Structure 1
């Protein structure tokens, strides 16, 4: 019987070891998830183009669409006579946007988004004519062309009614742009590498620098501020790529986020993180309702009395106050204590905003209160 249970015992031992090991690493995060190296960023590209082949849902005779079509056909030696503007219900002027990732090389493909900028009702079934995509420096980095994929739908009826699902005036072209120029990152020639955290935090910057020093040796990294960590870099692109790959996969335990309460006053949404604490405070919340009912009294004169009908105003005022018991928040109350206490009051989201604001003014809320 003991031999039959040995596999199960071994399995339980493995699970126990895994459970004992896992909690220590549960909060660990890779450095690559906390930020990125300086210079390794994407770049936005923008262009102007013409979509053709629409089923009568284009811009009609808008000037910029007309000029765009004239410019497109002129590249093929077709010059339209002056004063003649083609009817362009089957074409639309569009803006094209794309994102150029770091280390992108000529010949690779990019996904592009195409959006109508005129009166086009729908781009469904359209084809984007070859158009350049420019960066912020005015240089051409890609060329876009292809058939659009539209996720929206619009239908017009003869009586003027209309149904629109999503947005048929915008679409995408998967792999619709070809990269023509690479962006120089300069990471291979810099004296030092710089790693920038996504969120400012002095503790995380120090922990990232310490993790790199433990892996690479003392003095390999220096925390310059709450965002940037400077790293000594070897010579050569290949050695730097290997170093950056190793650094990205190091793990640290991030510092706890600062106590913060986010309040959206328009929707009544309140979000608090687990670091929020409340000092000793007594809270009471109630509602006062004043109701005024108007019941005018009409007095009719007797027949043949030559009297006049008189309307006498009559008002009934009723005041109701819904009281709630006062409760005491102890020192160091946690998020769960705050939520339970406020729920006992039956406070609405709007009331919760008022209570949190009052606690902050009283100095009892130990957190940053952000009202959107």
Structure 2
């Protein structure tokens, strides 16, 4: 009885093992360096909209605009008081508790009326700080000139400024603040996504290979030619025949598909900070590199010349003594970089020369000029 049970357990284990092997063949592990479609492409039409407005911040502790220097603040303050029934025409306003500001915000897609969004407030005049201020009602307009939101509230300023009679200190930017949920959406932007029969996916990093891979992954998953790569930037997506559901259901299914993005070989250089970023596909043909290290040192050692103790004439003077040394870095030699080296080998070779980032920038530009760098150089 025990032998039959043991044989049955062996057959069951073998069947389970075969099933696991079959499942591994049907569902292979995802390849490395792959990304979801939702992380590398946006749906055309689903986007933020920029809003901007002009307003006044009040309640400042003497750190607002100087009215005699900022005429627009004075005009705005006068107009606001007149709308509230206060006539200030002909009076000399001297308040320093008001500042003219620009208010900016991003209107999210499909934001309905009554929802709140964050706003950023920035000083426009010569105000020293917006700390403790309150933004008055400010309409926020879109690019079409229509009002889409209204902002108001107390500012939260991260920076601060303090000064005394002989010294002052500033941390951060006290003339820039933020109001969390400081604006109310008053108008919606119409976009009927669910009723569309086709739409386009816009790649965040345009590339023709990535665009084609996205279309291939979608068509393979759906089993129908529903996607087509139109150019390096966009992929057109059509509702496949017989698909049960809306375009939103289709997007929900395909946005989790994984593809391997491709990118051109590129070297990005920021000369101001000395930052260098190189892609993994950067290649260098055979080239010899010599990096000069010319150093000139000038040392000033002034000496004092005095007359003899019993001399009848003479003055005490300072005689300059200058010493100039030139170091041409003779220990630097010509280094050979092998043909079609990888990114790691290129970095190791340049580091072996003992050079800094700024010299490396010049070397990379020289290699590109010589035609040995198989990549595009982009200077920021």
Coarse TM-score class (shorter-chain normalised): 0.7 to 0.9
Give the distance between the partners of 1:143 and 1:341, measured in 2 at CA. 58
Between the two proteins, the alignment pairs up a number of residues equal to: 342
- Superposed counterparts of 1:1-372, under 5 Å: 24-61=30-67, 62-76=70-84, 78-157=85-164, 159-233=165-239, 239-255=246-262, 257-289=263-295, 320-322=327-329, 323-372=331-380
Q: Retained in 2: the 8 A contact 1:115–1:171? A: yes
Give the distance between the partners of 2:112 and 2:281, measured in 1 at CA. 45
Q: Retained in 1: the 8 A contact 2:52–2:142? A: yes
Give the distance between the partners of 1:199 and 1:86, measured in 2 at CA. 53
Q: CA deviation at 1:273?
A: 1.9
Please, which runs of 5 or more residues in structure 1 have no aligned partner?
A: 1-13, 305-312
Q: CA deviation at 1:295?
A: 10
Please, which runs of 5 or more residues in structure 2 have no aligned partner?
A: 1-19, 312-319
- Cα distance change, pair 243–288 in 1 and its aligned pair in 2 (3 A): same
Give the distance between the partners of 2:29 and 2:137, measured in 1 at CA. 55
Q: Retained in 1: the 8 A contact 2:203–2:234? A: yes
Give the distance between the partners of 2:276 and 2:88, measured in 1 at CA. 63
Q: Retained in 1: the 8 A contact 2:228–2:235? A: yes
Which is further off, 285-294 or 350-359? 285-294
Q: Retained in 1: the 8 A contact 2:225–2:240? A: no
- Cα distance change, pair 178–318 in 1 and its aligned pair in 2 (3 A): closer
Q: Retained in 1: the 8 A contact 2:230–2:236? A: yes
TM-score (norm 2): 0.80
TM-score (norm 1): 0.81
Give the distance between the partners of 2:109 and 2:240, measured in 1 at CA. 21
- Cα distance change, pair 334–52 in 1 and its aligned pair in 2 (3 A): same
1:70-122 CA distance string (max 9 Å, x none): 3333333x131421243331221111110001111100001001111112211
Q: Retained in 2: the 8 A contact 1:234–1:240? A: no
